[in-house]
Amino acid sequence: MSRTVDIDFTFGEAISVLDALDALLGSGLRMPSDTEVLYLLDEDGMFEWQKAPASDVDDVISRLADKQWEDRVVGMTLLLPDGPHGGDLLFHPGRTSVSFVVAVHPRLLSGSSRFCDLGWYLERLVPALEPLGLAEIEARDTP
């Protein structure tokens, strides 16, 4: 059985997907591959992830930010600086809530065999998201 580790960020008002991705990518987050970008446009509630060539990343980001998706979940898989650790960044309908689901090589707490080092992730995500009006953070590591 696998664990679920996620961090939910709540903003005082709706944020722009484009602004959030610009802030995160500008802080050192990156695609998990030099050759492709993994992204989600939840067109039918099935959460089917898609791939595109890395050269199309700007087009993918523009598509995720398009107003037609404001009432749907959109997302992108990103790695954090300092290693192979990352996850899925999900923008929820209304864009006042964003989740980071730790799904790529979770970084564990030193001395722990199963608990994620949530502080490590927060140190890398919060500085980029706080200027966007971050109001609340909830982090969970559950079996």
Q: Each residue of 63-110: pLDDT tens digit?
A: 999 999 999 999 999 999 988 999 999 999 999 999 999 999 999 999
Interval 47-65 mean pLDDT: 94
Where residue 3 falls among pLDDT bands split at 50, 70, 90? confident
Closest CA to 9 of 109, 142, 131, 108: 131
pLDDT digits (tens, 9 = 90+) for 10-44: 999 999 999 999 999 999 999 998 899 999 998 88
pLDDT score recorded for residue 48: 87
